[in-house]
Amino acid sequence: MQGMGAGFSPGRIGMGQEHRRARRFNVSMAVTLILRDTKNRLILADPLPGTLLDISLYGARLSVPHIRTGRYHLFYACNDDSAKVILLEVIDKHEGDRLVLPAHPVWFDHILSSPSKHFELGLEFLIHPEDPNITKLHAFLASQPPLAGGWLKRLFRLA
């Protein structure tokens, strides 16, 4: 099932040509997505596990097993009501720290070509790139084993 936001990313233009505000870097890290109603201060559904696939100073791309949690569709719930946001939760098990970043979905796609037929979800962070939580996230990612030779340390120097 693909929706109106499926395959759309505001940073993508034309066939393979992209114009982004910041460089994206590949990662692979377990995260949790929590749908929250900020107006009523409520958690709306059970947390959804996901995998962080890439990240920039402004947002991230994730893989999730399904796009619905409880009775809510992650993309449409947030786009139909600006009070609903996705909290991206990262846990540093070594330090015991929990980092939570508010985000808004900007696109999703159902990856039917994959054996797991998962969904990919593009999130835009709702905090400024210089926010201490973004810095903490990048510092945490920089401490993880790199996928491709030290790029996270360079990203962290940019933050």
Contacts of 26 (CB under 8 A, 6+ apart): 53, 54, 147, 148
Q: Residue 24 has what pLDDT?
A: 79
Task: Report which listed range, 8-12, 48-52, 130-134, is most confident.
Answer: 48-52
pLDDT tens digits, 81-113: 999 999 999 887 776 778 899 999 999 999 999
Amino acid letter, 28: S
Whether 152 has a pLDDT exceeding 50, the answer reads no
Q: Where residue 137 falls among pLDDT bands split at 50, 70, 90?
A: confident
> Where along the chain do its domains lie?
19-158
Q: Residue 71 has what pLDDT?
A: 94
Task: Report which listed range, 2-6, 60-64, 153-157, is most confident.
Answer: 60-64
Structure tokens at 113: 């070509």
Whether 40 has a pLDDT exceeding 80, the answer reads yes
Mean pLDDT of the chain: 81
Q: Where residue 140 falls among pLDDT bands split at 50, 70, 90?
A: confident
Q: Are 50 and 29 in contact (CB under 8 A)?
A: no
Q: What is the CATH number of domain 19-158?
A: 2.40.10.220
Cα dihedral 127, 32, 2, 113 in deg (nearest 10): 120
Amino acid letter, 61: R
